[in-house]
Chain A
């Protein structure tokens, strides 16, 4: 998608953002010594910080490090945390894009820090927490509202029939019908890229709809009507304005907007 299609962040959702926010001076002191890198490039990380134990409003810090260009941005953030400022807080686990812990706003776009390479952002990168969920410390946000939205769509197979002794049959074509939305890792990159979600915390958001889609279009599921009822509500799928931010943000390549459209159509034409 072209840059101009990307919806800009709303100007006034967060009064602490903007040009008046002070940037702390570049830090040079180190804490221990970072490993030497053979073919390093210089990378400056401008990181939006927040720590309620230190001050009430967020601030910016900048760190300049030497990093291997083929490393992940997550590795660079670790270098900052491990050798420059141990107070930097972020979530991470698998480090290769499958656990969904490290969704961040990277140069203005949502992505997983472990799927962005240093060479693609050097010499300077801006890192902020994902938007629309309350920041708790630095890059860590409160995920509870996100998972609450997920739980609202009944994200589990509903089938009240007595199961057969063996597997239920499902043709490869039926299996293919919902394949794309099974890839979701619940990282919240889509939901927190959505301008509607930023402005309306009642909206279940794209990730919840993706997970509803995964069951609504599964031939074994009987809970479609129940889910569609939830999604037809005021807080459901018709909040979507087809901005496509979610599709662009998804690190798993899920066609999120398409999935949302399919759910809308299922409601409008009352069929699955």
Chain B
């Protein structure tokens, strides 16, 4: 049986971007937040090191320096107006969180303390600058908690453990709502709404070694993509340099911000060769490639595929008080005592720079002409505004979610206050019921877990830190085979109560869609830029590729690519050296 709801607007996802949008939109409109998790389980909570803003509390700093670093860090694929807005609004965003009770670490004078982070520099690259505001190494946890606390205070309505599986349009092309599946009893819900904001986070589970949660399966992107919305810049995926060996659990860049270094099998601080001015605090794409190169040239530890992260020269007090969680991760998951031993690390799939294309107000925009879809919004990792370009700087994701979550929520609240509630098409949930019944009724011999494991392995091997035309062509073929196998995937659980087996099958379908777009966009882009490194085309090619890619799903499931120009600004693209 289907239950119908009506709200002015719904927010899909309850991480930092969704909660911040909900707080803003609920000032003007009646809204609901729909999340497949309890809000405090969202992956914003796993962010560790900090949130940058040019407060200038501990040394000279300006938003303009921050904007420049963001553009350069993104290898000039960043839309410069977005970077400027984000850097300028960062200061207010941090102060607002402080006023809401965020427990920032403090300077002796009682001001918000700041520390160094990768790619953030003073005066356009002179030296690392202390720009990251933080709460030990649980900054994301504190942002998630603080925003959730404010939602409780404002009586925001939550639908927890509801999976949004479809986006519904009215006949005139306006957004009309979403279709959701309630996990606890397997019932369908249709939420009629004037506006929908997707804030469903990332999709790191397309890769084998990732810092991402099991639940980061790109649901919002895939739901939009299946309804004709393009996905922007999907070829740009960030590998964070310091994941725990084999497990991928994140060890924050703050470790290096506090003075930790990386060394190879010869005990050499190899980043001195790759980025002489800022060394271990170079942007993540460069550091991950450096690790790849060290391993390739035989300087991995014991000839294996990892290097060391070393903090033994730091004051143990700093390690214990400013990096307590990552220290504990090393102890628990590796059995390594970081105060006495170096920690084995390798790059881990971390963040998708691409996503649902939006403008500065969070409106989803389609095509090179950026035509807005009335009532449709996106913010956070699932969106692409594009403020991270080809490579996101550390801390800028936490900033992105509060700045663009607020902007999206603000515009959506106004829109919803002025518009009428659109009529829903009849049986708007029918497609999803068919899909779920199809999955439950499959009698093929394939298992979801086996297909997913194969997908993650292929993506890691063929579209990871380094790609070539050959690997990407091989990947496209492999994805075709996996899609055929998916058609025969069996769901063992036929029940209605907490059928997580069924939802994992649905999520695998999302992962496959997203992997297709990544492979297609990566194959087309025959240059290297930021997180997209083509060994067969190792140089950046601004003449041809200073543009974003847009991947559309055709009715037969194939992909059509379009491109749109990067929005330039004060910063002229130049060679990226540190």
A interface residues, Cβ below 8 angstroms from B: 31-33, 35, 51-54, 70, 72, 78, 81-83, 85-87, 89-101, 115, 117, 136-138, 140, 143, 147, 151, 155-157, 159, 163, 165-172, 174-175, 178-179, 182-183, 185-186, 215, 218, 220-221
Find out whether the CB atom of B141 lies under 8 angstroms from the CB atom of A185.
Answer: yes
Find out whether the CB atom of B492 lies under 8 angstroms from the CB atom of A31.
Answer: yes
- Interface membership of B105, Cβ < 8 A: yes
Find out whether the CB atom of A93 lies under 8 angstroms from the CB atom of B41.
Answer: yes
Q: How far is the CB of A90 from chain B (nearest CB, A)?
A: 8
| Nearest 8 CB-CB pairings of A with B | A157-B101, A86-B492, A32-B447, A82-B449, A169-B110, A156-B149, A86-B501, A137-B498
Closest to B325 in A: A98
Q: How far is the CB of A77 from chain B (nearest CB, A)?
A: 12
- Interface membership of B214, Cβ < 8 A: yes
Find out whether the CB atom of A215 lies under 8 angstroms from the CB atom of B101.
Answer: yes
Closest to B113 in A: A172
Q: Which residues of A contact B94 (CB under 8 A)?
A: 167
Find out whether the CB atom of B40 lies under 8 angstroms from the CB atom of A115.
Answer: no
Find out whether the CB atom of B153 lies under 8 angstroms from the CB atom of A156.
Answer: yes
Find out whether the CB atom of B103 lies under 8 angstroms from the CB atom of A82.
Answer: no
Q: B96-108 CB contact bits vs A (8 Å, 1 = yes)?
A: 0011110111111
Find out whether the CB atom of B99 lies under 8 angstroms from the CB atom of A163.
Answer: yes
Q: Which residues of A contact B501 (CB under 8 A)?
A: 81, 86-87
Q: Which residues of B contact A52 (CB under 8 A)?
A: 497
Chain A binding surface, main DSSP class: loop
The residue that B135 contacts in the complex, of A94, A159, A166, A182, with Cβ under 8 A, is: A182
Find out whether the CB atom of B141 lies under 8 angstroms from the CB atom of A93.
Answer: no
Q: Which residues of A contact B138 (CB under 8 A)?
A: 98, 182-183
Find out whether the CB atom of A168 lies under 8 angstroms from the CB atom of B98.
Answer: yes
- Interface membership of B33, Cβ < 8 A: no
Find out whether the CB atom of B40 lies under 8 angstroms from the CB atom of A186.
Answer: yes
- Interface membership of B45, Cβ < 8 A: yes
Q: How far is the CB of A216 from chain B (nearest CB, A)?
A: 12
Q: How far is the CB of B562 from chain A (nearest CB, A)?
A: 34
Find out whether the CB atom of B497 lies under 8 angstroms from the CB atom of A156.
Answer: no
Q: Which residues of B contact A167 (CB under 8 A)?
A: 94-95, 98-99, 104, 111-112
Find out whether the CB atom of B101 lies under 8 angstroms from the CB atom of A220.
Answer: yes
Q: Which residues of B contact A140 (CB under 8 A)?
A: 498
* Docked complex Cα distance between A70 and B330 (Å): 12
The residue that A171 contacts in the complex, of B110, B142, B152, with Cβ under 8 A, is: B110
Find out whether the CB atom of A185 lies under 8 angstroms from the CB atom of B101.
Answer: no
Find out whether the CB atom of B498 lies under 8 angstroms from the CB atom of A136.
Answer: yes
24 cross-chain CB contacts under 8 A: A53-B496, A70-B335, A82-B448, A83-B447, A94-B213, A95-B214, A96-B46, A96-B249, A97-B332, A98-B46, A99-B42, A99-B213, A100-B40, A100-B41, A136-B184, A156-B149, A156-B150, A170-B106, A174-B110, A175-B106, A182-B135, A185-B40, A186-B38, A186-B40
The residue that B497 contacts in the complex, of A53, A98, A178, with Cβ under 8 A, is: A53
Interface residues on chain B, number (Cβ under 8 Å): 62
- Interface membership of B506, Cβ < 8 A: no
- Interface membership of B481, Cβ < 8 A: no
Find out whether the CB atom of A156 lies under 8 angstroms from the CB atom of B101.
Answer: yes
**CB-CB under 8 A for A218 and B103, given A87-B493, A93-B41:** yes
Q: How far is the CB of A137 from chain B (nearest CB, A)?
A: 4
* Docked complex Cα distance between A186 and B40 (Å): 8
* Docked complex Cα distance between A199 and B20 (Å): 38
Find out whether the CB atom of A87 lies under 8 angstroms from the CB atom of B332.
Answer: no
Q: B434-452 CB contact bits vs A (8 Å, 1 = yes)?
A: 0000000000001111100
Closest to B500 in A: A89
* Docked complex Cα distance between A163 and B215 (Å): 38
* Docked complex Cα distance between A185 and B46 (Å): 11
Closest to B41 in A: A99
Find out whether the CB atom of A115 lies under 8 angstroms from the CB atom of B105.
Answer: no
* Docked complex Cα distance between A138 and B498 (Å): 9
Closest to B96 in A: A163
* Docked complex Cα distance between A147 and B101 (Å): 20
- Interface membership of B333, Cβ < 8 A: yes
**CB-CB under 8 A for A151 and B214, given A82-B448, A99-B43, A169-B109:** no
* Docked complex Cα distance between A234 and B166 (Å): 47
The residue that B103 contacts in the complex, of A86, A143, A156, A182, with Cβ under 8 A, is: A182
Q: Which residues of A contact B46 (CB under 8 A)?
A: 94, 96, 98-99
Q: Which residues of A contact B103 (CB under 8 A)?
A: 175, 178-179, 182, 218
Q: How far is the CB of B500 from chain A (nearest CB, A)?
A: 6
Interface centre among B111, B184, B492 (most CB of A within 10 A): B492
Closest to B98 in A: A167
Q: Which residues of B contact A33 (CB under 8 A)?
A: 450
Q: Which residues of B contact A182 (CB under 8 A)?
A: 103, 135, 138, 142, 145
Contacts A86-B501, A94-B46, A96-B333 known; 16 new A-B pairs at CB < 8 A = A53-B495, A53-B497, A86-B492, A91-B41, A92-B214, A93-B43, A99-B41, A115-B332, A140-B498, A156-B149, A167-B112, A170-B106, A171-B108, A171-B110, A175-B104, A218-B103
Find out whether the CB atom of A83 lies under 8 angstroms from the CB atom of B449.
Answer: yes
Q: Which residues of B contact A166 (CB under 8 A)?
A: 95, 111
* Docked complex Cα distance between A183 and B100 (Å): 17
Q: How far is the CB of A104 from chain B (nearest CB, A)?
A: 15
Q: Which residues of B contact A90 (CB under 8 A)?
A: 500
The residue that A96 contacts in the complex, of B141, B329, B450, B495, with Cβ under 8 A, is: B329
- Interface membership of B37, Cβ < 8 A: yes
